[in-house]
């Protein structure tokens, strides 16, 4: 009877450890030394068919009493933070996640309950996201297709599977893709094989930190093709951001008797300006207090235009420019009598 039990345990050991080797694949279709402004979009969970699952509120992993600490992040949020942090160490120039997360709901990518409309975000072309309001060269999509923890009595297994896709704003072509799937097992396949260890090691494998550490290793390997020596000297501070804009051109028709007043809330210490279509270009704005910019447009006798959008611009000391089109209606100025 004893030999039979040993045989069963041995079979279980082999079946649980045979497949625990990470699988990674990459494609790279651009020069990773090139400094691209990248918007890291909110990450999503997907089902077996690759369909986006609308995220629910909740913890990243369940809490195991005495062993597992409570976590505020979902897997999607945690993996996205890892990617954002890793990209900050390379030649790419990721946008501030605060800017991305603020802009998306303001442009129709939010739900009434405050969550992102993930399906809409992932169905929208990168060109539309970058050109219309994020002012980026590419967007990075992240799909989590595996996030699992299992306990088999003598073995615990953590599994993580992630797909990353970098899409160019110009043409939506795939610049970089990476897929990684890896595991961490605790129990008979790791550590001493004494009775106490056979009981405690699998339970320790349920600690939340195990799957978080595993995720960090997976992301590091997945992004390794982008970690090239001799990259550009891209500053590691975030590029300038525009948080809000406004002007007093109510109704869309300007008058010649008073100036058009323009306001912008953006990164402090930047060079700010505004334009009205192609008719009025690069009028400077003044920073009256940190991050608060003020500008006026006084029509010249020769100025006239119809249905022109008002655009705002900020440029930092590294020459990085961020722009935004005002959400109010286009403006018009009739010819002088």
Task: Decide: 309 and 264 in contact? Cβ < 8 Å.
Answer: no
Q: Where along the chain do the CATH 2.60.40.10 domains lie?
A: 242-333
Task: Decide: 50 and 59 in contact? Cβ < 8 Å.
Answer: no
Tell me the pLDDT band of 56, cut-offs 50, 70 and 90: low
Going by C-alpha positions, the residue among 245, 332, 334, 247 that lies closest to residue 296 is 247
Task: Decide: 41 and 76 in contact? Cβ < 8 Å.
Answer: no
Task: Decide: 158 and 149 in contact? Cβ < 8 Å.
Answer: yes
Task: Decide: 96 and 320 in contact? Cβ < 8 Å.
Answer: no
Percent of the chain as helix, strand, coil, to the nearest 5: 25, 35, 40
**202 has pLDDT over 70:** no
Give residue-wise pLDDT tens across range 273-326.
Answer: 999 998 899 899 999 999 999 999 999 999 999 999 999 999 888 778 888 888
Q: What is the mean pLDDT of residues 144-168?
A: 84
pLDDT at 286: 96
CA dist 192 and 78 (Å) reads 32
Q: What is the DSSP letter of 329?
A: P
State residue 312 phi and psi, 5-degree precision: -115, 150
**Out of 143-157, 211-225, 309-323, which region has the weakest mean confidence (pLDDT)?**
143-157
Tell me the pLDDT band of 92, cut-offs 50, 70 and 90: confident
CA dist 52 and 145 (Å) reads 10
Give residue-wise pLDDT tens across range 228-282.
Answer: 765 555 566 677 889 999 999 888 899 999 999 999 999 999 999 999 998 899 8
Tokens of 119: 């399906």
pLDDT at 293: 97
Q: Where along the chain do the CATH 3.40.50.10610 domains lie?
A: 15-226
Class of 15-226 per CATH? alpha beta
Quote the mean pLDDT of the chain. 80
Using CA of residue 126, residue 130, residue 133, residue 134, what is the dihedral sign?
Answer: positive
Helix or strand run (H / E) with residue 17: helix 2-17
State residue 168 phi and psi, 5-degree precision: -75, 145
CA dist 217 and 26 (Å) reads 16
Interhelix angle for 97-106 vs 75-87, to 10°? Answer: 130
Ramachandran bin of 17, using left for φ above 0, alpha for ψ from -120 to 50, beta for the remaining angles: alpha
pLDDT at 62: 44
Which 3 state secondary structure label does DSSP give 303? coil
Class of 242-333 per CATH? mainly beta
Cα–Cα distances (Å) from 176 to 25, 32, 135, 139, 225, in that order, read 11, 9, 19, 11, 9
Task: Decide: 187 and 210 in contact? Cβ < 8 Å.
Answer: no
Q: What is the mean pLDDT of residues 196-221?
A: 68
């Amino acid at each position: 009877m004893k030999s039979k039990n040993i045989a069963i345990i041995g079979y279980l050991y082999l079946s649980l450890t045979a497949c625990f080797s990470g699988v990674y694949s990459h494609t790279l279709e651009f020069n990773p030394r090139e400094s691209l402004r990248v918007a890291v979009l909110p990450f999503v969970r997907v089902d077996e068919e690759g369909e986006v699952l609308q995220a629910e509120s909740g913890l990243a992993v369940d809490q195991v009493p005495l062993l597992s600490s409570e976590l505020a992040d979902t897997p999607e949020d945690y993996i996205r933070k890892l990617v954002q942090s890793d990209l900050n160490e390379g030649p790419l120039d990721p946008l501030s996640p605060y800017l991305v997360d603020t802009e998306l709901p303001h442009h129709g990518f939010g739900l009434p309950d405050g969550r992102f409309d993930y399906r809409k975000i992932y169905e929208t072309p990168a060109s539309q996201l970058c050109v219309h309001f994020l002012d980026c060269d590419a967007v990075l999509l992240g799909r989590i297709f595996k996030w699992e923890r299992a306990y088999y009595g003598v073995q615990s297994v953590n599994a993580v599977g992630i797909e990353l896709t970098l899409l160019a704003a110009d043409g939506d072509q795939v610049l970089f893709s990476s897929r990684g799937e890896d595991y961490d097992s605790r129990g008979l396949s790791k550590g001493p094989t004494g009775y106490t260890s056979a009981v405690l090691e699998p339970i320790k494998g349920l600690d939340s930190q195990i799957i978080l550490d595993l995720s960090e290793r997976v992301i590091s390997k997945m992004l390794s093709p982008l970690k090239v020596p001799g990259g550009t000297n891209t500053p590691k501070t975030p590029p300038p951001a525009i948080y809000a804009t406004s002007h007093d051109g109510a109704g869309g028709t300007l008058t010649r008797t008073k100036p058009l007043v323009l306001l912008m809330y953006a990164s402090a210490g930047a060079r700010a300006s505004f334009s009205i279509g192609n008719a009025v270009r690069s009028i400077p704005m003044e920073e009256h207090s940190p991050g608060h910019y003020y500008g006026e447009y006084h029509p010249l006798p020769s100025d006239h235009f119809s249905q022109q959008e008002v655009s705002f611009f900020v440029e930092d000391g590294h020459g990085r420019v961020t722009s935004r089109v005002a959400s109010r209606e286009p403006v018009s100025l009739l010819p002088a009598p």
